[in-house]
Amino acid sequence: MSETTATSTDGATAEGAAAPHETTGATIELENLTKRYAGSGDPAVDSVNMEIKAGEIVILVGPSGCGKSTTLKMINRLIEPTSGRIRIGGEDVTDMDPVKLRRKIGYAIQSSGLFPHMTVAQNIALVPKMIGWGKAKTKSRVEEMLDLVGLDPGEFHGRYPRQLSGGQQQRVGVARALAADPPVLLMDEPFGAVDPITRDHLQDELIRLQHELHKTIVFVTHDFDEAIKLGDRIAVLRERSHIAQFDTPEAILTNPADDFVSGFVGAGAALKRLNLTRVRDVEIADFATVTVDDPLQDIFDKLRSSGTNELLLLDKRRRPYKWLRRGDLMRAEGSLARAGTLVHDTVTRDATLRDALEAVLTDNAGRVAVTGRRGEFTGVVDMQTLLNSVHEMLEADRLDAVEHQHELQEQRALLTHHEQEGNGGAAKA
Ligand SMILES: Nc1ncnc2c1ncn2[C@@H]1O[C@H](COP(=O)(O)OP(=O)(O)O)[C@@H](O)[C@H]1O
Ligand SMILES: [Mg+2]
């Protein structure tokens, strides 16, 4: 996590930032932030206190109507707070000119919010133009942003929003939010309107982007699985944005603060935990392999000598092709084309353990091949490995919980101690 806090983010600094993505995140502090809409009794957001570190992704998650959007929009003052303070990078921005404020805060929303009558390039150039960037600089920034979000600049910059798929529109929305290189990015259910597969893709992309950019991101969703996947920390909100729990995904999954949080975590917390670990974090085992170019005799020999009674046959580019058992070749009368079982599923090192488990469960022999960047074979993960790492994980969580309990006890003991001292003093006086 970045320790750098960009405090000076006025126009001059942004203009001077020639190097791309120079601006990393800034801290955000909300102090007793409250919104009471005109004509309504209870406040929509009631005295929220929250400290968000520079460079972290914080997810606000909670049921519909609990005040997530209101809280988010008060940060960039699309909604004026009724009371309370907002500090960004240590600077109190509660009374700053909202237009000026929004220059240092990117904002991306559901269904992208792109202007339909403007091209993709014009949409992305909006804020850079507004803050007076020159033509050349803006143009190259637009191309760079398109590239960053995985859209070919040549192909996309002249298109209109209606000529894009939902997923592509969201990408442009993110590119636009990042165009002026703001330290803070606010996202309100940005992937809420796309299909689940595209959504998964966009989430992966955001994680990749954040590895490069280290912005401070506040991300609103009502989907707890999305919160676990993306959040460094998650704030689970109940009505009026009261914080039920604000902690890491691990801590919330293993130690939900109360029934409301448990309800939100939902069933299968142990399974969701698998989303937090990647295949690269577990032991990837070797496996005896042969390739389709090897002479048949060598394959026979290797099958006979191999301790496992099974080989993985790789294609010409060393990608997993078939599982070959002893006897398979005999039955197929020595024809590689007919022998063995096709590899129907593989995972990459970046896949979650949940994906790996899914693949292992549907494999007859309970294992899955792991592949590298170009699909080449790098090893296997089997059921036993997954079980071991899940057990290790749960054990580590248990130890954390015990430690946490001890800390709480100490704190309580300390408090009681202070109270007694206080009472003692009062009695003497
Ligand atoms: N402009 C508004 N005027 C009056 N009430 C509003 C307005 N916007 C939102 N609300 C109310 O404030 C509460 C919180 O809304 P919102 O922040 O949109 O919640 P969420 O994003 O969590 O679904 C809701 O009860 C909603 O009806
Ligand atoms: Mg909302």
Per-residue pLDDT at 4 exceeds 80: no
Contact 4, 194 (CB under 8 A): no
The gap from C-alpha 392 to its chain's centroid, in whole angstroms, comes to 23
Per-residue pLDDT at 37 exceeds 50: yes
Choose from 38-42, 130-134, 183-187, 325-329 the range with maximum mean pLDDT: 183-187
64 ligand 1 Cβ < 6 A: yes
Using DSSP, state whether 174 is helix, strand or coil.
helix
Whole-number Å distance between alpha carbons of 420 and 416: 6
Contact 54, 28 (CB under 8 A): no
Per-residue pLDDT at 407 exceeds 80: no
Give the ligand with the smallest distance to the CA of 189: 2
Alpha-carbon Rg for the chain, nearest whole angstrom, is 27
Which CATH class, in words, describes the domain spanning 4-104+182-268? alpha beta
Could you tell me the distance, in angstroms and rounded to a whole number, from the CA of residue 346 to the centre of ligand 1?
A: 44
Torsion, CA 50, CA 177, CA 98, CA 223, rounded to 10: -40
- Helix and strand counts by DSSP (H, E) for the chain: 16, 17
Nearest-CA residue for ligand 1 atom 17 is 67
Nearest-CA residue for ligand 1 atom 16 is 67
The mean per-residue pLDDT over the stretch 272-292 comes to 88
So what's the architecture of 281-385 in CATH? Roll (3.10)
- To the nearest 5 percent, what fractions of the chain are helix, strand and coil? 45, 20, 35
pLDDT (0 to 100) of residue 120: 97
Per-residue pLDDT at 17 exceeds 80: no
Nearest-CA residue for ligand 1 atom 26 is 65
Tens digits of per-residue pLDDT, 315-351? Answer: 999 999 999 988 888 888 878 888 899 998 899 988 8
Mutation choice for ligand 1 from 37, 74, 75, 187, CB with most ligand atoms inside 8 A: 37
Per-residue pLDDT at 208 exceeds 90: no
Decide: residue 198, CB within 10 A, 0-12 exposed, 13-18 middle, 19+ buried: middle
Full strand arrangement of the beta sheet holding 233-237: 105-109, 184-188, 216-221, 57-61, 233-237, 243-247
The mean per-residue pLDDT over the stretch 43-51 comes to 97
Nearest-CA residue for ligand 1 atom 27 is 65
Atom of ligand 1 nearest to the CA of 73: 17
Nearest-CA residue for ligand 1 atom 3 is 37
Whole-number Å distance between alpha carbons of 171 and 199: 11
Whole-number Å distance between alpha carbons of 175 and 150: 10
Q: Tell me the residue type at 158.
A: G
39 ligand 1 Cβ < 6 A: no
- Identify any residues that bridge with 236 across adjacent strands, giving them in sequence order: 61, 245
Asked if 4-104+182-268 and 281-385 have one fold, the answer is no
Using DSSP, state whether 17 is helix, strand or coil.
coil
65 ligand 1 Cβ < 6 A: yes
The mean per-residue pLDDT over the stretch 162-188 comes to 93
Whole-number Å distance between alpha carbons of 212 and 208: 7
Q: How confident is the model at residue 6 (pLDDT cuts 50, 70, 90)?
A: very low
Predicted TM-score (pTM) of this structure: 0.72
Per-residue pLDDT at 228 exceeds 60: yes
The mean per-residue pLDDT over the stretch 51-58 comes to 97
Q: What stretch of H or E contains 424?
A: helix 383-428
- Closest by CA position to 28, among listed 102, 105, 88: 88
* Domain coordinates in residue numbering, the chain: 4-104+182-268, 281-385
pLDDT (0 to 100) of residue 23: 73
Atom of ligand 1 nearest to the CA of 64: 23
37 ligand 1 Cβ < 6 A: yes
Count of C-beta atoms within a 10 Å radius of residue 425? 9
Average pLDDT over the chain, rounded to whole?
86
pLDDT (0 to 100) of residue 1: 38
Whole-number Å distance between alpha carbons of 356 and 81: 46
